[in-house]
Amino acid sequence: MQVEQQQARHDKQDHDESLRSFHAYVYSQLNSPRKDEILERAAQRIALWQRNKLCSGHYIRFWSSIVKAGDTDAFKAKVLNAPKRRAMAMMQNTPFSFLMREQT
């Protein structure tokens, strides 16, 4: 049982690090000429969530505020530099998932 718990913690840490790394990539792309295109696609994804009731209103409100701000400082503060537990919860359901296949 102890070994399984240790493995589960390790797997969770790996998953969290992967999400953090991905969102660092998103941040870098939001600091590029692609910013407007990326924010538009994220807004479309959030609208789809809302229209089809695909996730909690909490995620919709949170990510809508980030996307509408259109500000990389807001993204950095509310996503990358947020308290770990809150950040990981929000990163689980990201409107930027379309960028995942680009990340190297």
> Where are the chain's structural domains?
2-99
Q: Which residues of the chain have pLDDT under 50?
A: none
What local confidence, expressed as pLDDT, does residue 4 receive?
A: 83
What local confidence, expressed as pLDDT, does residue 104 receive?
A: 58
Return d(Cα 67, Cα 64) in angstroms, integer: 5
What 54-60 contacts at long range (C-beta under 8 Å, 24+ apart), as own/partner pairs, is 55/93, 59/90, 59/93
Return d(Cα 11, Cα 46) in angstroms, integer: 28
